[in-house]
Structure 1
């Protein structure tokens, strides 16, 4: 419950005449729904500095440097191709598409989402020393992480386009559709979803450190609950609603449909993913802003 403090006038002119005259009224500056987005906009230069810092610090002392942007998705895709496409005999199915480009498409979108979520979820614990010494809008930190990972996604998306162009020429089953125009929308949804979920976990892990390990394990399980290594069409109608309850399911399917020509699309599904993302983002921002005021006492 919000309170309002007041100061009474004690000047000689007012003493004994009007004891109810107030010289100053102090009211709370923020409310539950005050997201302080204006502060983030004023500190937009700081956001870009954090983006540059994240990009440089991650690969400054590595041997291969930015080449890891290409190595990671290629190795993951190759592993899926060997295990699910060859060893398992392709029993999961790929909607008739070549296995390698099918898995690469899924890894491209899932990599951005999972990396952003994991990084944002450690904002408070990883930056507690900085937060306790200097003030700046705390929201700038998770926002900068999502943007810096967007640079990473752009590079990996370029890799996907190169491989996609090869299959576009050599395989008649691979063809783009008009839904490829929704790619910017899908990228924004992935970024906002990872931002909202990451801020929720970041706020909760200030008191419950076990959630950090749970998140790492949960992301691995969520990969198999999302149409990344299998198409939605192979899921029975009985369980399809459960898979579609995951907002990332529609995003992965629409991305694949746009560039590979096979996938499931529905404006209702996309609308649900958008609404779920916005609700999670709003909840994450509110929880994050509430916890930032006192997290130094528990971290």
Structure 2
């Protein structure tokens, strides 16, 4: 005879969500071990079969910053507000690459993990969260590089540059949190759209490249004519990068109002992205 479990004996019950706002966030905590495994997988697998391995985490921002220094500072003669040019470009790349990398990876969540999603159950939100956290670990490594170069210029006795770090350094975790939220929310929205419209995958590549030029990565905000600064500040990443530079160098701008604006955009994107992502996960296997 078969032993049939009675009602109440089950350890796990899976049922469809009846509401867009039934996110069941408590379930994410129950699957925290799986989240840690995904974070480790995402972090380790990136450069696992490369010759230099994790050294690429450091080489990537250095090479990018050197190229920008040669082209935009030496050739185009774009000023850097009196900061050490290498430090200026490295600070911009540090923040932008975290945002762009998190956005790009998160936007491919459904397409990249369709095989896993179709075979086993777990809270789907864990996947984009793991990508954001694994990119954060990469940011920590690159931030150590930034601090090493910052210390060199700060303690150099004969340096022509004068850095003035200030109390706003304490806001760096907040800046990273806002960036993570922006990438997380926007990535989930785009990922949901790409299940039906693959065009968004190609558009995102161009959009990220164009957005960089609309952000203060390769030029300071002061370089932009006053009548056009409002358009640059409309990009929620601009106040974040400006605040980061100001915290460590004392040069640039720091505005709580614009950071509040970036935070509001982040809250809207995360809220909309989470709802849309949760809705699409029910049926995406039919279209992906």
Normalised to the residue count of structure 2, the TM-score between the two structures is 0.92
Query: 1:227 aligned to 191, 209, 216, which one?
Result: 216
Larger deviation, residues 99-108 vs 164-173: 164-173
SS of match in other structure, 2:136:
helix
**Match status 1:80 vs 2:68:** yes
The Cα shift of 1:110 comes to 0.5
Q: Deviations over 1:54-113 (max 9, x none)?
A: 11211211110000000000000000000011111x2x2111112111000100001111
Larger deviation, residues 238-247 vs 276-285: 238-247
**Match status 1:69 vs 2:57:** yes
2:11 corresponding residue in structure 1? none
2:228 corresponding residue in structure 1? 239
**Match status 1:108 vs 2:97:** no
Q: Deviations over 1:173-218 (max 9, x none)?
A: 2221111110000011111110111101100011111111100110
Partner Cα separation in structure 2 for residue 268 and residue 131 of structure 1: 41
Query: 1:218 aligned to 207, 215, 227, which one?
Result: 207
- Residues 212 and 28 from structure 1, CA distance in 2 versus in 1: closer, same or farther, beyond 3 angstroms? closer
The Cα shift of 1:29 comes to 4.4
The Cα shift of 1:166 comes to 0.5
- The unaligned stretches of length 5 or more in structure 2 are 1-14
**Match status 1:99 vs 2:90:** no
Partner Cα separation in structure 1 for residue 236 and residue 82 of structure 2: 24
CA root-mean-square deviation: 1.3
Partner Cα separation in structure 1 for residue 126 and residue 240 of structure 2: 26
2:242 corresponding residue in structure 1? 253
Q: Deviations over 1:103-136 (max 9, x none)?
A: 0010000111101101101010011011011110
Partner Cα separation in structure 1 for residue 56 and residue 18 of structure 2: 43
**Match status 1:286 vs 2:272:** no
**Match status 1:125 vs 2:111:** yes
**Match status 1:269 vs 2:258:** yes
**Match status 1:167 vs 2:156:** no
Q: How many residues align?
A: 271
Higher relative contact order (CA 8 A, sep 6+): 2
Larger deviation, residues 262-271 vs 163-172: 163-172
Which protein has the larger Cα radius of gyration, Structure 1 or Structure 2? 1
2:144 corresponding residue in structure 1? 158
Normalised to the residue count of structure 1, the TM-score between the two structures is 0.88
Q: Deviations over 1:262-289 (max 9, x none)?
A: 1111111111111111111111111100
Partner Cα separation in structure 2 for residue 177 and residue 230 of structure 1: 22
1:22 corresponding residue in structure 2? none
**Match status 1:43 vs 2:31:** yes
Q: Which runs of 4+ in 1 moved over 3 A?
A: 27-30
